[in-house]
Amino acid sequence: MSEPHKHSPAPPRLRNLQFSPIKQQDEQYIVLWDPTGLSAEKLIIPLNYFYLMQFFDGEHSLEQIGAEYLKKFGEFILPDRMEKLIRDLDEKLFLEGERFDTARKAAIEAYRAAPVRPAAYAGKAYAAEPEPLKKELESFFTSKEGPDWKPSANAGKNLKGIIAPHYDLRQGGPIYAWAYKEVQEASVPDVFVMIGTCQAGLEHGYALTDKDFETPLGWVPVDRDVIDVIRKKGASTFFDEDISHKNEHSLEFQLPFLQHTVGAKKPFTIVPILTAFAPDDLAHPEFLENVERFLRIMKDALTESGKLVCFVASAELAHIGLRYGDNKPPTDFSFHKCMQWDMEMLKHVEQLDADGFATFIRKEGNARRISGFAAIYTMLKLMKAEKGEVLRYDRGVTDQFNSTVTYASVVFY
């Protein structure tokens, strides 16, 4: 009697994870984690296992992945090791599949049922209590890299928008402060349209949420009038990925600055938007139409509200080094070259030239991985301003191998 036919396991498909190289003594490893926060787990793997990850695309069978390993390393990977790797990835929700789908559905239901989007990074990236947080914010303004409290030449004007980093507050805080000093001294708007960078990516390019946001300094209310108009204009698909807001830090890091600089003077509301796409995506007619539809709806909703609006783009610039896909760590020379490219690119931003900004990045093949492109592009397309000005530029080192992120504070009047 023949044995029943055994079905091969489905080819594994890795989710959109983030990774970073780490060094332990003389050995190098890769740490993987989930940028959506759906899984709080991390997984440390050796470089030979990380090599296999490129074949976890839902197209390669386990046999094919094993063959790729043999071709690369000249040895077989034992089936039990492969199975353990896949089991670890699945248990940590790092693979597409039934376990992930169930967890994501439960997370969406919980997020939508919650009364507020709670602070996800209080006590981790910044102080969790009001008074220590206020002191922390003040220190960013008065540090040697900060702007201090000298009067701005633009005091009292209608500020149209700012670009601020979303880098770690305790390192990048003084650079944020350059933009928020302008906010502090400007004529206070009614609503801030917050356009953040979604690290985990988005299927539709944009994700809105109707949740108020909580920080240690209190609740920040969403502008219900604007949100309702957006919904009425048929933009419900842009709320489909609202779960993306739950653990994304790019908007959360801006809110304590707004509360500290504006909240004491006048109540304000926000329109929270996350976005994620690259310049090359705009070359696809269907995606471009989706972006243009979003922009039309937003312009109409803001115009109908009759409110004084200020835009906030939470965006970083270049990402260079091993952590971001380069084959060697950056040097001082490569960083200075990157800085020159950033400054040339930001001239288009200062001139409110969204298409020139996109073309600049496209011409260099997005080799420096400008993660804040979508947020900045969207703001430039929506905002009515006369000029922009780069106030401050800096970088942060993100790992043991000198991987580097660049960022700037920019204002528009």
Which residues contact residue 353 at a Cβ distance below 8 angstroms, ignoring those fewer than 6 apart?
380
- pLDDT at position 153 is 82
Q: What angle do CA 214, 216, 219 make, to 5 degrees?
A: 30
Strand, coil or helix: what is 84? Answer: helix
Of 286, 304, 317, give the one whose Cα is nearest residue 405. Answer: 317
Domains of the chain: which residue ranges?
A: 18-105, 117-412
Task: Tell me which H or E stretch contains 191.
Answer: strand 191-197
Which residues contact residue 166 at a Cβ distance below 8 angstroms, ignoring those fewer than 6 apart?
196, 197, 249, 250, 253, 254, 314, 315, 316
- pLDDT at position 8 is 62
- pLDDT at position 1 is 47
- pLDDT at position 137 is 97
- pLDDT at position 7 is 55
Q: How many other C-beta atoms lie within 10 A of the C-beta of residue 71?
A: 8
Q: What is the CATH number of domain 117-412?
A: 3.40.830.10
Strand, coil or helix: what is 124? Answer: coil
Q: Which two tokens stand for residue 184?
A: 């502090």
Output the pTM of the full model. Answer: 0.91
- Average pLDDT per consecutive 10 residues, the chain (413 residues; last block may be shorter): 57 93 88 93 94 95 94 92 93 96 96 96 97 97 91 87 96 97 93 96 96 98 96 90 97 98 92 97 96 97 96 98 93 95 98 98 96 98 96 95 96 97
- pLDDT at position 24 is 84
- pLDDT at position 2 is 47
